[in-house]
Structure 1
């Protein structure tokens, strides 16, 4: 609820109608329920979602046929996350959402995707501190 509220406020401040990304719920599950997972760590959540959005937007700009663009965007998003060491499963859906929504502005990758991801990570850190869980997970 905190992330949704803050994202809406930020969206209104900057005059952007899209202020929430659809896959945020799946990202929240990893951050709040499995905070020790490598796929729930800040770099994975923020970079994975953002990279996938950028790739999805680039693909839809190059491949006009959505049925072809969807698997290409998802595949390259997974490859991009693998190369950048930020695997985050819900992020593959971000690339698909971009294609299905015909999102063509790279701004979408930064707001709402990157900003929502940052807000989610911050909310996860606050929650973890309040409940005594360790997040982000620091290698020992």
Structure 2
């Protein structure tokens, strides 16, 4: 609710941004319900979502056919997350949302994707620490 409200206040919240909320809902599940998971840590959430948006935008610039662009964007997003050690499963959906929405502006990766991811991590940290769960966690 916090992410949606701030997004509405900061920018134009249209249909495409509302699609993004579905992916962020899956991110929220990891951050709030499984705060100890490596896939729920701030680097994974923020970098994974932002990288996937950047990959999706780059792919849609090169490949106009959605049936080719979608699997290419998702697979390259997963590869990028693997290389950067920021695996976050819901982020692959971000690349698909970008392709399906024909997003050509790279600013979309920073707002709403990155900003919403940061807000989600901050809200998750506040909630987890208030409820006695440690978040974020350092790798062992």
Query: TM-score over 0.5 for the alignment?
Result: yes
The number of aligned residues is 136
Give the structure 1 partner of residue 83 of structure 2: 83
C-alpha separation between the residues in 1 aligned to 2:36 and 2:113? Answer: 22
SS at match of 1:9: helix
Task: Confirm whether residue 29 of structure 1 aligns to residue 8 of structure 2.
Answer: no
Query: CA–CA distance in 2 between the matches of 1:133 and 1:104?
Result: 39
Q: Is the 8 A contact 2:45 2:86 kept in 1?
A: yes
Misfit runs of 4+, over 2 Å: 16-20
User: Matched residues in 2 for 1:139 and 1:68: separation?
Assistant: 36
Partner residue of 1:69?
A: 69
Q: Deviations over 1:37-69 (max 9, x none)?
A: 000000000000000000000000000100000
Q: In structure 2, what is the equivalent of residue 58 of structure 1?
A: 58
* TM-superposed deviation, 1:138: 2.1
Shifted more, 130-139 versus 31-40: the winner is 130-139
Runs of at least 5 residues in structure 1 that lack an aligned partner in the other structure? none
Residue in structure 1 matched with residue 103 of structure 2 by the alignment: 103
Alignment correspondent of 1:2: 2
Indicate the larger mover: 2-11 or 118-127.
2-11
Partner secondary structure for residue 134 of structure 2: coil
Point out where structure 2 has 5 or more consecutive residues left out of the alignment: none
Structure 1 residue 3 displacement after superposition: 1.8
How far apart, CA to CA, are the structure 2 residues paired with 1:100 and 1:77?
A: 15
Aligned 8 A contact 2:70 2:96 in 1: yes
- Which region of structure 1 is more displaced relative to structure 2, 100-109 or 18-27? 18-27
